Amino acid sequence: MLSPLRTLLKLPFLSLLAAMLLGSQVADAAAARLKVGITLHPYYSFVANIVGDRADIVPLIDSEANPHGYAPQPADMVRMMSMDVLVVNGIGHDTWAFEILDAAGMRKKLKLIYANDGVSLIPVAGAATGEKVVNPHTFISTTAAIQQVYTIARKLGEMDAANATYFRDNARKYALQIRKLRAEFDAKITGADLSKFRCATMHSGYDYILQELGLQVTAVIEPRHGVEPTARQLAETIDRIKAAKVNVLFAEKYFASKLSDTIRQATGVRMYSISHISSGPYTPGKFVDEMRENLNTLAQAINDTSKGA
């Protein structure tokens, strides 16, 4: 048996050893935390709600950068090289991310999660050649957004098996929040006459949510986002809007074009703004908050036309 004196002498050593072991475990845990990169604002919200405090999120570009036609910056490569995985749209909305991958020499090194794996995609008319391209705005939706959340959670769980169940449970809770948005919308338009609703959009960013709600788009003003129509195309679009008796025009909240005012004045349509969820601070609540606002706007437009306002 150790004497009391020898026991006292040994305690500091044991305490030091325990502290060293604990510090090593903490360091290992920190090193094991996934660094999850994201390219777009909705993906920040998706990942934040999935991983909670068990992974770090690294936005590839600054929060105020315009993701439409973005020009890669040197700082983007630095951020990319710190990531373990990058969540991408991969169907046209973040083509600049692949330019950064190549510039950083990370194309074959960094694991990618394609958020749209499994999502039913909507084709849209492309350039003047008549080429068909895929509509990349899948996140302006509730059903497609939920599908993306589950895809991201599953893929992250494959990379971090210890937290796979946690990620999956969080994904289910978050999906319930998104489903509630649709329930709130349905309650707001109960009794509305949808037959009176005829809309045009400034560009094709809202096709997924409108299709999900059973609403048809009569005309799209911009042939591609940020590409203004020619004078002839604009005149033809205005004629089509008048002939179809379109009564609603949806413009983008953050990047609205002056064309929207021109069309409103020429046709008399009522104009409403919808968020593209592509600007402002990256926050866990951004997607749900802005989609709720979008659905409230859609409900207002439907009710206004139903009442003949």
Section 48-66 average pLDDT: 96
Using alpha carbons, select from 144, 162, 252 the residue that is nearest to residue 208: 144
Q: What is the pTM of this model?
A: 0.85
DSSP H helices, the chain, are: 4-32, 41-51, 74-80, 95-103, 143-159, 164-188, 207-212, 231-243, 259-267, 286-306
**pLDDT average, residue stretch 67-95:** 94
pLDDT given for residue 265 in this prediction: 85
For the cut 60, the answer to whether the pLDDT of residue 78 exceeds it is yes
pLDDT at 131: 59
Domains in the chain: ranges and CATH: 30-184 (3.40.50.1980), 191-306 (3.40.50.1980)
Question: CA angle at residue 45 from 148 to 221, to 5 degrees?
Answer: 70
Query: b/e map of 106-144 (b: 16 or more CB within 10 Å)?
Result: beeebebbbbbeebeeeebeeeeeeeeeebbbbbbbbbb
Chain center to CA of 127: 25
Q: What would the pLDDT profile of 108-123 be if each residue is shown by its tens digit?
A: 999 999 999 999 999 8
Nearest residue to 226 (alpha-carbon basis) of 66, 65, 68, 39: 68
Count Cβ atoms below 10 Å from residue 162 Cβ, excluding itself.
Answer: 9
Look at residue 11 in the predicted model and tell me its pLDDT: 43
Q: What is the pLDDT of residue 9?
A: 40
In the chain the first and final C-alpha atoms are separated, in Å, by 92
Q: Which tens digit of pLDDT belongs to each residue from 226-275?
A: 667 788 888 888 888 898 899 999 988 765 567 778 888 888 899 999 99
CA distance 125 to 137: 14
Confidence of residue 309 (pLDDT cuts 50, 70, 90): low
Name which of 27-36, 173-182, 203-212, 258-267 the model is least confident about.
Answer: 27-36
pLDDT averaged over every residue in the chain: 86
- Maximum distance among all Cα pairs of the chain, rounded to whole angstroms: 101
Distance, CA of 269 to CA of 261 (rounded, Å): 10
Residue 309's alpha-carbon distances to 198, 205, 250, 253, 306, in angstroms, are 13, 25, 16, 22, 8
Question: Where is average pLDDT lowest: 149-158, 188-197, 203-212, 252-261?
Answer: 252-261
Q: Which of 66-75, 184-193, 196-205 has the highest mean pLDDT?
A: 184-193
Residue 232: per-residue pLDDT: 85
- As a whole number, mean pLDDT of residues 93-109 equals 95
Q: Give the C-alpha separation, 209 to 265, whole Å.
A: 26
